[in-house]
Amino acid sequence: MSRTTDTGAATLEQVAVRAGVSRSTVSRVVNGGARVSPDALAAVEAAIAELNYVPNRAARSLASRQTHAIALVVPEDTTRFFGDPYFSSIVAGINDRISASPYMLGLFIASSDPDDKATNFVSSGSVDGALIVSHHTSDEYVRRIARSTPVVYGGRPIGVTPDDYWVDVDNVAGGRLAMRHLVERGCRRVAIITGPDDMLAGIDRLRGSREVLEEAGLDPVGIQNGEFSSAGAAKAMERILESGARPDAIFVASDLMARGALSVLARAGIRVPEDIAIVGFDDSPVASSVVPPLTTVRQPSRDQGAAMADVLLRLLGGEDPPNENLLPLELVVRESA
Protein backbone atom coordinates (compact mmCIF):
# COMPACT_ATOMS: atom_id res chain seq x y z
CA MET A 1 0.00 0.00 0.00
CA SER A 2 1.28 3.41 -0.87
CA ARG A 3 2.25 5.57 2.10
CA THR A 4 1.15 8.79 0.42
CA THR A 5 -0.62 10.20 -2.59
CA ASP A 6 1.26 11.24 -5.73
CA THR A 7 1.60 14.70 -4.23
CA GLY A 8 3.38 13.26 -1.16
CA ALA A 9 0.56 13.88 1.31
CA ALA A 10 -1.25 11.02 3.01
CA THR A 11 -5.05 11.33 2.95
CA LEU A 12 -7.71 10.81 5.57
CA GLU A 13 -8.99 7.87 3.51
CA GLN A 14 -5.56 6.18 3.53
CA VAL A 15 -5.37 6.55 7.30
CA ALA A 16 -8.83 4.97 7.61
CA VAL A 17 -7.85 2.00 5.45
CA ARG A 18 -4.58 1.46 7.31
CA ALA A 19 -6.31 1.70 10.71
CA GLY A 20 -9.21 -0.51 9.62
CA VAL A 21 -11.83 2.05 10.63
CA SER A 22 -14.23 4.37 8.85
CA ARG A 23 -13.32 7.78 7.47
CA SER A 24 -15.66 9.39 10.01
CA THR A 25 -13.78 7.73 12.89
CA VAL A 26 -10.48 9.17 11.65
CA SER A 27 -12.14 12.56 11.28
CA ARG A 28 -13.37 12.43 14.88
CA VAL A 29 -9.88 11.57 16.14
CA VAL A 30 -8.26 14.32 14.07
CA ASN A 31 -10.80 16.91 15.18
CA GLY A 32 -10.78 15.87 18.81
CA GLY A 33 -14.32 14.48 18.80
CA ALA A 34 -15.70 12.10 21.37
CA ARG A 35 -17.30 8.64 20.89
CA VAL A 36 -14.13 6.88 19.72
CA SER A 37 -13.23 3.60 21.42
CA PRO A 38 -9.73 3.22 22.93
CA ASP A 39 -8.87 0.51 20.36
CA ALA A 40 -9.99 2.68 17.44
CA LEU A 41 -8.10 5.66 18.84
CA ALA A 42 -4.90 3.62 19.14
CA ALA A 43 -5.29 2.21 15.61
CA VAL A 44 -5.85 5.66 14.09
CA GLU A 45 -2.94 7.22 15.96
CA ALA A 46 -0.66 4.39 14.82
CA ALA A 47 -1.79 4.81 11.20
CA ILE A 48 -1.25 8.57 11.36
CA ALA A 49 2.29 8.03 12.59
CA GLU A 50 3.05 5.32 10.04
CA LEU A 51 1.74 7.32 7.07
CA ASN A 52 3.11 10.64 8.30
CA TYR A 53 -0.37 12.10 8.00
CA VAL A 54 -0.41 15.80 8.86
CA PRO A 55 -3.92 17.19 9.48
CA ASN A 56 -2.84 20.79 9.06
CA ARG A 57 -5.16 23.71 8.59
CA ALA A 58 -4.33 24.06 4.92
CA ALA A 59 -5.11 20.43 4.20
CA ARG A 60 -8.46 20.75 5.96
CA SER A 61 -9.44 23.80 3.96
CA LEU A 62 -8.60 22.65 0.44
CA ALA A 63 -11.81 23.79 -1.21
CA SER A 64 -10.81 22.06 -4.42
CA ARG A 65 -11.37 18.70 -2.71
CA GLN A 66 -14.96 19.53 -1.87
CA THR A 67 -17.73 18.86 -4.34
CA HIS A 68 -20.49 20.52 -2.31
CA ALA A 69 -22.69 17.65 -3.47
CA ILE A 70 -24.58 15.10 -1.37
CA ALA A 71 -25.91 11.83 -2.78
CA LEU A 72 -29.29 10.40 -1.85
CA VAL A 73 -28.83 6.68 -2.53
CA VAL A 74 -31.94 4.51 -2.86
CA PRO A 75 -31.39 0.74 -3.27
CA GLU A 76 -34.80 0.22 -4.89
CA ASP A 77 -36.18 0.11 -8.41
CA THR A 78 -37.82 3.23 -9.82
CA THR A 79 -41.33 1.73 -9.64
CA ARG A 80 -41.13 1.39 -5.89
CA PHE A 81 -39.33 4.68 -5.37
CA PHE A 82 -41.84 6.78 -7.31
CA GLY A 83 -44.87 4.77 -6.17
CA ASP A 84 -44.38 4.82 -2.40
CA PRO A 85 -45.40 8.03 -0.59
CA TYR A 86 -42.81 7.30 2.10
CA PHE A 87 -40.03 8.25 -0.30
CA SER A 88 -41.59 11.50 -1.43
CA SER A 89 -42.02 12.53 2.19
CA ILE A 90 -38.51 11.69 3.29
CA VAL A 91 -37.00 13.34 0.20
CA ALA A 92 -38.99 16.49 0.93
CA GLY A 93 -37.51 16.59 4.42
CA ILE A 94 -34.00 16.05 3.12
CA ASN A 95 -34.43 18.78 0.53
CA ASP A 96 -35.79 21.20 3.14
CA ARG A 97 -32.50 20.96 5.00
CA ILE A 98 -30.08 20.67 2.06
CA SER A 99 -31.61 23.61 0.17
CA ALA A 100 -30.74 25.87 3.11
CA SER A 101 -27.10 24.71 3.01
CA PRO A 102 -24.26 25.24 0.50
CA TYR A 103 -24.73 21.68 -0.80
CA MET A 104 -26.60 20.27 -3.80
CA LEU A 105 -28.60 17.03 -3.59
CA GLY A 106 -28.38 14.30 -6.22
CA LEU A 107 -30.58 11.20 -6.45
CA PHE A 108 -29.00 7.82 -7.25
CA ILE A 109 -31.02 4.63 -7.76
CA ALA A 110 -28.40 2.01 -6.92
CA SER A 111 -28.21 -1.75 -7.44
CA SER A 112 -26.05 -4.71 -6.43
CA ASP A 113 -24.47 -4.92 -9.89
CA PRO A 114 -20.66 -4.69 -9.40
CA ASP A 115 -20.55 -2.31 -12.37
CA ASP A 116 -23.41 -0.17 -11.06
CA LYS A 117 -22.62 3.37 -12.18
CA ALA A 118 -24.40 5.01 -9.25
CA THR A 119 -22.41 3.07 -6.64
CA ASN A 120 -19.14 3.65 -8.47
CA PHE A 121 -19.81 7.37 -8.79
CA VAL A 122 -20.73 7.88 -5.14
CA SER A 123 -17.76 5.77 -4.00
CA SER A 124 -15.27 7.64 -6.19
CA GLY A 125 -15.12 10.82 -4.13
CA SER A 126 -17.47 12.65 -6.46
CA VAL A 127 -19.69 13.64 -3.52
CA ASP A 128 -18.90 14.84 -0.01
CA GLY A 129 -21.36 12.51 1.70
CA ALA A 130 -24.33 10.21 1.17
CA LEU A 131 -27.80 9.61 2.61
CA ILE A 132 -29.03 6.03 2.18
CA VAL A 133 -32.67 4.97 2.59
CA SER A 134 -34.51 1.66 2.23
CA HIS A 135 -31.48 -0.62 2.44
CA HIS A 136 -31.68 -4.42 2.61
CA THR A 137 -29.39 -6.99 4.23
CA SER A 138 -28.22 -8.08 0.78
CA ASP A 139 -27.11 -4.56 -0.18
CA GLU A 140 -23.38 -5.11 0.44
CA TYR A 141 -22.54 -2.27 -1.93
CA VAL A 142 -24.08 0.09 0.63
CA ARG A 143 -21.16 -0.76 2.92
CA ARG A 144 -18.80 -0.08 0.04
CA ILE A 145 -20.19 3.44 -0.17
CA ALA A 146 -19.88 3.86 3.60
CA ARG A 147 -16.20 2.87 3.47
CA SER A 148 -15.45 5.67 1.01
CA THR A 149 -17.58 8.62 2.14
CA PRO A 150 -19.51 9.81 5.23
CA VAL A 151 -22.94 8.17 5.29
CA VAL A 152 -26.15 8.64 7.26
CA TYR A 153 -28.77 5.90 7.03
CA GLY A 154 -32.52 6.40 6.99
CA GLY A 155 -33.41 3.46 9.20
CA ARG A 156 -31.12 1.51 11.52
CA PRO A 157 -28.96 -0.73 9.34
CA ILE A 158 -28.81 -4.46 10.00
CA GLY A 159 -25.42 -5.24 11.50
CA VAL A 160 -25.16 -1.68 12.81
CA THR A 161 -21.70 -0.70 14.08
CA PRO A 162 -20.63 2.06 16.52
CA ASP A 163 -19.39 4.07 13.52
CA ASP A 164 -22.78 4.11 11.76
CA TYR A 165 -25.00 7.18 11.82
CA TRP A 166 -28.73 6.62 11.42
CA VAL A 167 -32.15 8.20 11.93
CA ASP A 168 -35.16 5.97 12.54
CA VAL A 169 -38.31 5.36 14.54
CA ASP A 170 -38.71 2.56 17.09
CA ASN A 171 -40.40 0.07 14.78
CA VAL A 172 -40.79 -2.53 17.53
CA ALA A 173 -42.72 0.02 19.59
CA GLY A 174 -44.74 0.93 16.50
CA GLY A 175 -45.74 -2.68 15.92
CA ARG A 176 -46.75 -2.94 19.56
CA LEU A 177 -48.79 0.26 19.32
CA ALA A 178 -50.75 -1.01 16.32
CA MET A 179 -51.41 -4.47 17.72
CA ARG A 180 -52.33 -3.21 21.17
CA HIS A 181 -55.06 -1.10 19.60
CA LEU A 182 -56.54 -4.15 17.91
CA VAL A 183 -56.31 -6.34 21.00
CA GLU A 184 -57.83 -3.66 23.24
CA ARG A 185 -60.62 -3.32 20.67
CA GLY A 186 -61.48 -6.95 21.36
CA CYS A 187 -59.94 -8.56 18.29
CA ARG A 188 -58.76 -12.13 18.88
CA ARG A 189 -58.11 -13.63 15.42
CA VAL A 190 -55.45 -11.32 14.08
CA ALA A 191 -53.46 -11.73 10.87
CA ILE A 192 -50.33 -9.78 9.97
CA ILE A 193 -49.13 -8.57 6.60
CA THR A 194 -45.49 -7.73 7.13
CA GLY A 195 -42.71 -6.06 5.20
CA PRO A 196 -39.64 -7.76 3.73
CA ASP A 197 -37.68 -10.00 6.09
CA ASP A 198 -34.40 -8.48 4.91
CA MET A 199 -35.26 -4.99 6.20
CA LEU A 200 -35.23 -4.08 9.88
CA ALA A 201 -38.43 -2.05 9.51
CA GLY A 202 -40.28 -5.20 8.43
CA ILE A 203 -38.58 -7.40 11.01
CA ASP A 204 -39.14 -5.04 13.93
CA ARG A 205 -42.78 -4.18 13.18
CA LEU A 206 -43.56 -7.88 13.04
CA ARG A 207 -41.65 -8.49 16.25
CA GLY A 208 -43.49 -5.77 18.16
CA SER A 209 -46.92 -6.90 16.99
CA ARG A 210 -46.21 -10.53 17.89
CA GLU A 211 -45.04 -9.52 21.36
CA VAL A 212 -48.43 -7.97 22.11
CA LEU A 213 -50.26 -11.04 20.83
CA GLU A 214 -48.10 -13.30 23.01
CA GLU A 215 -48.76 -11.11 26.06
CA ALA A 216 -52.50 -11.49 25.36
CA GLY A 217 -52.16 -15.27 25.04
CA LEU A 218 -52.94 -15.16 21.32
CA ASP A 219 -51.30 -16.54 18.19
CA PRO A 220 -51.55 -14.82 14.80
CA VAL A 221 -53.97 -16.64 12.51
CA GLY A 222 -51.74 -15.87 9.56
CA ILE A 223 -48.54 -14.02 8.68
CA GLN A 224 -47.83 -13.07 5.08
CA ASN A 225 -45.07 -10.97 3.52
CA GLY A 226 -46.42 -8.06 1.48
CA GLU A 227 -42.98 -6.72 0.42
CA PHE A 228 -43.95 -3.14 1.34
CA SER A 229 -45.95 -2.83 -1.90
CA SER A 230 -49.65 -2.55 -2.70
CA ALA A 231 -49.53 -5.42 -5.18
CA GLY A 232 -47.55 -7.61 -2.78
CA ALA A 233 -50.03 -6.97 0.02
CA ALA A 234 -52.99 -7.75 -2.25
CA LYS A 235 -51.49 -11.17 -2.93
CA ALA A 236 -50.76 -11.61 0.78
CA MET A 237 -54.39 -10.76 1.62
CA GLU A 238 -55.61 -13.27 -0.96
CA ARG A 239 -53.43 -15.97 0.61
CA ILE A 240 -54.83 -15.21 4.08
CA LEU A 241 -58.42 -15.49 2.83
CA GLU A 242 -57.67 -18.66 0.86
CA SER A 243 -56.21 -20.27 3.98
CA GLY A 244 -59.62 -20.18 5.68
CA ALA A 245 -58.15 -18.33 8.68
CA ARG A 246 -61.11 -15.90 8.91
CA PRO A 247 -59.31 -13.11 10.85
CA ASP A 248 -61.28 -10.43 12.65
CA ALA A 249 -58.38 -7.96 12.36
CA ILE A 250 -55.23 -7.35 10.35
CA PHE A 251 -52.12 -5.38 11.18
CA VAL A 252 -50.59 -4.24 7.89
CA ALA A 253 -47.03 -2.93 8.26
CA SER A 254 -47.42 0.00 5.83
CA ASP A 255 -50.27 2.14 4.55
CA LEU A 256 -49.37 1.34 0.95
CA MET A 257 -49.78 -2.36 1.72
CA ALA A 258 -53.03 -1.63 3.55
CA ARG A 259 -54.43 -0.13 0.34
CA GLY A 260 -53.74 -3.39 -1.49
CA ALA A 261 -55.32 -5.43 1.29
CA LEU A 262 -58.41 -3.21 1.33
CA SER A 263 -58.94 -3.68 -2.40
CA VAL A 264 -59.01 -7.45 -1.99
CA LEU A 265 -61.41 -7.28 0.96
CA ALA A 266 -63.74 -4.98 -0.99
CA ARG A 267 -63.85 -7.41 -3.93
CA ALA A 268 -64.61 -10.25 -1.51
CA GLY A 269 -67.51 -8.32 0.03
CA ILE A 270 -65.79 -8.15 3.43
CA ARG A 271 -66.59 -4.96 5.30
CA VAL A 272 -64.02 -2.85 7.15
CA PRO A 273 -64.22 -2.41 10.09
CA GLU A 274 -67.49 -4.33 10.63
CA ASP A 275 -66.06 -7.71 9.56
CA ILE A 276 -62.33 -7.03 9.76
CA ALA A 277 -60.52 -4.18 11.51
CA ILE A 278 -57.31 -2.90 9.91
CA VAL A 279 -54.41 -0.87 11.27
CA GLY A 280 -51.63 0.37 8.99
CA PHE A 281 -48.29 2.07 9.49
CA ASP A 282 -46.82 5.40 8.24
CA ASP A 283 -49.77 7.82 8.17
CA SER A 284 -48.90 8.61 4.57
CA PRO A 285 -51.43 10.39 2.31
CA VAL A 286 -52.73 6.92 1.44
CA ALA A 287 -54.16 6.57 4.96
CA SER A 288 -56.66 9.39 4.56
CA SER A 289 -57.51 8.69 0.91
CA VAL A 290 -58.62 5.05 1.15
CA VAL A 291 -62.12 3.92 2.10
CA PRO A 292 -62.56 3.70 4.99
CA PRO A 293 -59.85 6.12 6.18
CA LEU A 294 -57.09 4.13 7.82
CA THR A 295 -56.21 3.88 11.48
CA THR A 296 -52.42 3.87 11.41
CA VAL A 297 -49.16 4.47 13.25
CA ARG A 298 -47.77 7.85 12.28
CA GLN A 299 -44.06 8.05 11.66
CA PRO A 300 -42.66 11.53 10.90
CA SER A 301 -41.04 10.72 7.55
CA ARG A 302 -40.45 14.32 6.54
CA ASP A 303 -38.82 15.02 9.90
CA GLN A 304 -36.73 11.89 9.44
CA GLY A 305 -35.39 13.20 6.13
CA ALA A 306 -34.57 16.57 7.65
CA ALA A 307 -32.84 14.90 10.61
CA MET A 308 -30.77 12.68 8.30
CA ALA A 309 -29.60 15.70 6.34
CA ASP A 310 -28.83 17.58 9.53
CA VAL A 311 -26.67 14.77 10.90
CA LEU A 312 -24.71 14.55 7.64
CA LEU A 313 -24.22 18.31 7.41
CA ARG A 314 -22.91 18.34 10.95
CA LEU A 315 -20.48 15.54 10.09
CA LEU A 316 -19.26 17.40 7.03
CA GLY A 317 -18.84 20.49 9.18
CA GLY A 318 -16.46 18.66 11.53
CA GLU A 319 -18.97 18.17 14.35
CA ASP A 320 -19.65 14.96 16.24
CA PRO A 321 -23.45 14.40 16.19
CA PRO A 322 -25.10 11.42 17.93
CA ASN A 323 -24.85 8.16 15.99
CA GLU A 324 -28.34 6.99 16.97
CA ASN A 325 -31.36 9.21 16.38
CA LEU A 326 -34.90 7.98 17.17
CA LEU A 327 -38.03 9.98 16.31
CA PRO A 328 -41.42 9.61 18.07
CA LEU A 329 -44.43 7.60 16.87
CA GLU A 330 -48.14 7.97 17.56
CA LEU A 331 -51.33 6.09 16.78
CA VAL A 332 -53.84 7.95 14.60
CA VAL A 333 -57.33 6.49 14.98
CA ARG A 334 -59.67 6.77 12.01
CA GLU A 335 -62.47 4.55 10.72
CA SER A 336 -60.78 1.24 9.79
CA ALA A 337 -60.28 0.11 13.41
pLDDT in tens, 144-162: 788 788 999 999 887 778 8
Residue 25 predicted with pLDDT over 60: yes
CA atoms within 13 A on the CB side of 327: 20
Asked whether the predicted pLDDT for residue 166 surpasses 90, the reply is yes
> Has residue 124 been placed in a domain?
yes
Claim to verify: residue 226 and residue 153 sit in the same structural domain: no
Please tell me whether residues 178 and 293 are part of one structural domain. yes
**Does 281 share its domain with 181?**
yes
For residues 288 and 140, membership in a common domain is answered with: no
Q: What is the pLDDT of residue 61?
A: 39
pLDDT above 60 for 57: no
Kindly state whether residues 188 and 240 are assigned to the same domain.
Answer: yes
Q: Please tell me the least confidently modeled range out of 8-17, 25-34, 203-212.
A: 25-34
In a domain, 336, yes or no: no
Is there a single domain that holds both residue 74 and residue 146? Answer: yes
State the chain's mean pLDDT as an integer.
87
Residues 182 and 279 in one domain: yes
DSSP code per residue over 115-154: T-HHHHHHHTTSSSEEEEES--TT-HHHHHHHHHS-EEEE
Residues 198 and 251 placed together within one structural domain of the fold: yes
Q: Which residues contact 116 (CB under 8 A, 6 or more apart)?
A: 110, 141
pLDDT of residue 186: 96
Sign of the torsion formed by the C-alpha atoms of 265, 270, 272 and 277: negative
Residues 184 and 294 in one domain: yes
How sure is the predictor about 55, in pLDDT bands with cuts at 50, 70 and 90? low
Q: Does 179 lie in the same domain as 98?
A: no
Per-residue pLDDT reduced to its tens digit, 181-227: 999 999 999 999 999 988 899 999 999 999 999 999 999 999 999 99
Please choose, from the candidates 273, 301, 271, 303, the residue with its C-alpha nearest in 3D space to the C-alpha of residue 286.
301
Q: Which domain holds residue 306?
A: 66-169+302-327
Co-location of 203 and 160 in the same domain? no
Mean pLDDT to the nearest integer, 290-296? 97
103-119 confidence digits (pLDDT tens)? 999 998 876 666 678 77
* CATH number assigned to the domain comprising residue 237: 3.40.50.2300
Look at the chain and report how many structural domains it folds into: 3
What local confidence, expressed as pLDDT, does residue 138 receive? 62
- Answer whether residue 335 is part of any domain: no
Average pLDDT on 234-260 reads: 96
pLDDT band at 87 (very low <50, low <70, confident <90, very high): confident
Q: Are residues 55 and 91 in the same domain?
A: no
Q: Give residue 12's pLDDT band: very low, low, confident or very high (50, 70, 90).
A: confident
